[in-house]
Amino acid sequence: MTSADAAKVAESPEAIAARLAASRYLADDSLATAIFLAIRLGKPLLLEGAPGVGKTEAAKAVAELLGRELVRLQCYEGIDTGHALYEWNYQRQLLAIRHAGEHEIDIYDDRFLIARPLLQVLRAPERRVLLVDEIDRSDHEFEALLLEFLSDFQISIPERGTIRAATQPIVILTSNRTRELAEALRRRCVYHWIGYPDAQREAEIIMLRAGDVAEATARAVAIAVQQIRARPLAKPPGIAEAVEWANAATILEKGGSPWPEAFRRAIGVLIKDEEDLSAIAPELGRIVAEALS
Amino acid sequence: MRRPENLRPAAAPFLGFARLLRDHAFPIAPEQTISFMQAVTLLGPRSMNDIREAALATLAPSPDHRGEFEAHFRAYFYGDAKPSIEGEEDDETRVKDDRGTREEENQTTREEKGGDLSSTLEQLSSRDFQRDADGLDQFRRKLASALPARRSFRTTRTRSRGTLDLRRSLSEIVSADGDIPVPLLRRRQTVPRKLLLLIDISGSMKLHTADYLKLAHAAVQGAERAEVFTFGTRLTRITSALRIRDREQALARAATLVDDWDGGTRMGPTLLAFLSVPRFSAFARGASVVILSDALERGGHAELETAMRRLSARAFRLSLATPLAGDRRFRPATAALRAILPVLDDLVDGSSVGSLTDFILSLARPAPAADSIWKRVS
């Protein structure tokens, strides 16, 4: 798919939202607008939000919507060029030198180049979407490297020269906001903060994502999760956990537990912190009962 | 950027809005203004909401300032009354970042009555520091190499004990025409762990805060990655003030940043507030955390206990240095201290700069848990 095709797909925020829904991702207007702008302005999209609100899922949905392959780069502290850009296949190079004997051989040939995510995307921007996941986990050095990549979409390999992208690739960055990102990076991107959805949207998401969950269950889960998130927990449950909870409760109910009991017994998939569990335990019965009514 | 006279008159408001935000300390680059106008054009705009969405996506206000941003937007485009932006000041622990941003917390705090030394009354006052240095220069020089270390994912060149550095070896081989000279090695680097100092500046610590801040200044100057926060009734990050090389200047700047000198203590709630800011609590992960406080928490200590437990779960080593331990007769006898003792790695004397610098320089050496030491004493 060329960039002209991408522009055709992204003719309006509503078209994007509809196509995202077709790939089983429910985006609100604001997110659809941000995606639309990122594609049309040719800028990277920076998604921030608490863990489990569907940032990575959004990236997957965008790749699906454009009919492109998603290349994911997971960041961590100490990530370097060898993991992000490229690496030489030294073993093969050595073998090739031996094999060549007296002949001349170019050991910096494409055969010996292992392309890492950034280079992969640069080589085929029409076929791939780059996801730089959890950029807040990387250190400042990597952020600076990424900044260079995102502004010019080029990589220089000392042995080979500079490789430039034929067209501008689509890049999505996500951050959990465990640390403040450099202003320069935020400035280059189209920005969107993904918050927790309201109860109705969350119920729709649960219906869409969970296996076979009754509508009433989905709605009850959404309401209860909203209530639980309002409590001062160390780790408020994300959307993924809510979906799991709905699934788990449904399975338990089919196994013979009555409704409120099924929710209570499946709480372990929703809240995964001992302290939070004991904090919420006394109120859980009431919250579930209210949500079910 | 194009000059305003070349712009169509309809575009002027967007330029003006960006300027207005810049006047209110939103960092907005010219290229963001350009994208904002491009985005508005792309979207139609069919409604006011399109303009709002475009502004949110391109001008990228940080989530902490979202409310302020919306207020300015309404005021500018709808002509609402001037926004009153000062946040509501109820019983919340205020977190002050020294970059001038403030984060409102949903950590509510209880008013606690009683206590002469550590009262919860906020007594706001300022203070300046002028006293000369002692052995702090030496501490600063030794610190970088004395902090606990961890292995980094990055590698460094080495002559012995390492794995083969194929990249460099290969280019050696090529330049030596196929001969294999001495293989070149590389090894994972060791980097010093982060150091986090949390300084109690309440009234009961009055005698020591000046010394502590000097120590903190030396630590920020000496260590590669150190963060310093003060807490009393509020939490204030003073690291960037302490980055100023000159001690007097740095301390004077820090003194103006902090509003709650010599007031009461709300140790538990302020530490919880610290942990609830993801950026701060991420810094505590894997760091050596040293709390300089007497831990005289009046009233309930449940929050203090929770905060300390969470901190110790994150930190590489959690130490409490209290000036009270300078006294030979000191025993961790208060309810609060007894409750937090099991999660502490060290409970040491913080009564003098000398003992503190010695302790911080010894952080890399293993020591028995505070619990076992103090059990033996009592």
d(CA B277, CA B95): 9
Say which of B54, B174, B281 has its CB closest to residue A107: B174
CATH fourth-level superfamily of B95-144+193-377 = von Willebrand factor, type A domain (3.40.50.410)
| Cβ–Cβ < 8 Å for B195, B220 | no
Q: Where do the structural domains in chain B lie, given as residue ranges?
A: 4-78, 95-144+193-377, 152-190
- Which chain B residues contact residue A176 at CB under 8 A? 278
Residues A155 and A285 in one domain: no
Domain boundary at A175, A194, A213, which? A194
Q: Alpha carbon A115 to chain centroid distance?
A: 21
- Per the model's pLDDT, the better-predicted residue between A35 and B156 turns out to be A35
Say which of B29, B178, B309 has its CB closest to residue A97: B178
pLDDT band of A157, cuts 50, 70, 90: confident
Q: What is the pLDDT of residue B242?
A: 92
Q: Across-strand partners of A156?
A: A162
Question: Which CATH number do you get for residue A157?
Answer: 3.40.50.300
Q: What is the pLDDT of residue A155?
A: 87
Residues A126 and A257 in one domain: no
Report B:309-328 residues touching A (Cβ under 8 A).
309-310
pLDDT tens profile A269-291: 999 888 888 888 888 888 888 88
Q: A100 lies in a domain?
A: no
Residues A232 and A156 in one domain: no
Residues A120 and A17 in one domain: yes
Report B:68-127 residues touching A (Cβ under 8 A).
106-108
Say which of B63, B108, B167 has its CB closest to residue A88: B167
| Beta-carbon separation of B170 and A191 below 8 A | no
What is the residue range of A272's domain? 199-292
CB contact B27 to A (< 8 Å): yes
Q: What is the pLDDT of residue B303?
A: 87
| Beta-carbon separation of B43 and A78 below 8 A | no
- Report the chain A residue with the minimal C-alpha distance to residue B27: A183
Average pLDDT over residues A80-108: 85
| Cβ–Cβ < 8 Å for B349, B325 | yes
Q: A88 lies in a domain?
A: no
pLDDT tens profile A53-67: 889 999 999 999 999
Domain boundary at A138, A173, A194, which? A194
| Beta-carbon separation of B56 and A30 below 8 A | yes
Q: A125 lies in a domain?
A: yes
**Mean pLDDT computed over every residue of chain A:** 88
Q: Is the pLDDT of residue A218 over 50?
A: yes
Residues A20 and A43 in one domain: yes
Q: Give how far A17 is from chain B: nearest CA, Å.
A: 14
Report B:291-310 residues touching A (Cβ under 8 A).
306, 309-310
Residues A179 and A279 in one domain: no
Residues A175 and A228 in one domain: no
pLDDT band of B128, cuts 50, 70, 90: very low
pLDDT tens profile B282-338: 888 889 999 999 888 776 788 898 889 889 888 899 999 998 888 888 888 888 888
| Beta-carbon separation of A41 and B39 below 8 A | yes
- Per the model's pLDDT, the better-predicted residue between B263 and B108 turns out to be B263
Q: Is the pLDDT of residue A31 over 80?
A: yes
- Which chain A residues contact residue B53 at CB under 8 A? 13, 29-30, 33-34
Average pLDDT over residues A168-191: 87
pLDDT tens profile B180-201: 777 888 888 888 899 999 999 9
Average pLDDT over residues A8-12: 81
Q: What is the pLDDT of residue B6?
A: 67
| Beta-carbon separation of A43 and B35 below 8 A | yes
pLDDT band of B114, cuts 50, 70, 90: very low
Q: Is the pLDDT of residue A145 over 90?
A: no
| Beta-carbon separation of A192 and B57 below 8 A | yes
| Residues of chain B above pLDDT 90, percent | 15
Q: A204 lies in a domain?
A: yes
Query: Which residue reads 């103006």 in tokens?
Result: B256
Average pLDDT over residues B141-154: 85
CA distances to B15, B63, B74 from B49, in Å:
18, 18, 11
Q: What is the pLDDT of residue B230?
A: 93
Q: What is the pLDDT of residue A119?
A: 93
Report A:33-92 residues touching B (Cβ under 8 A).
33-34, 36-38, 40-41, 43, 46, 48, 76-80, 88, 90-91
Q: Is the pLDDT of residue A125 over 80?
A: yes
Q: What is the pLDDT of residue B91?
A: 43
Q: A86 lies in a domain?
A: no
Q: A72 lies in a domain?
A: yes
pLDDT tens profile B216-274: 999 999 998 899 999 988 889 999 899 999 988 999 999 888 888 888 888 888 898 89
Residue A145: name the closest of A194, A189, A81, A96 by CA: A81
Average pLDDT over residues A107-134: 91
| Cβ–Cβ < 8 Å for B67, B101 | no
Residues A42 and A171 in one domain: yes
| Residues of chain A above pLDDT 90, percent | 37
Residues A249 and A263 in one domain: yes
- Which chain A residues contact residue B172 at CB under 8 A? none
Q: What is the pLDDT of residue B113?
A: 41
CB contact B50 to A (< 8 Å): yes
| Beta-carbon separation of A93 and B279 below 8 A | no
| Cβ–Cβ < 8 Å for A10, A16 | yes
Average pLDDT over residues A185-209: 90
Number of domains into which chain A is organized: 2
SS3 B25: coil
Q: Is the pLDDT of residue A166 over 70?
A: yes
For B49-145, strand residue ranges (E) read 95-96, 102-103
Task: Indicate the DSSP class of residue B80.
Answer: P
pLDDT tens profile B35-68: 998 898 888 888 888 889 899 999 988 887 888 8
| Beta-carbon separation of B279 and A186 below 8 A | no
Domain boundary at A138, A159, A194, which? A194
Residues A210 and A134 in one domain: no
Q: Provide φ and ψ at B315, rounded to 5°.
A: -75, 155
Residues A272 and A219 in one domain: yes
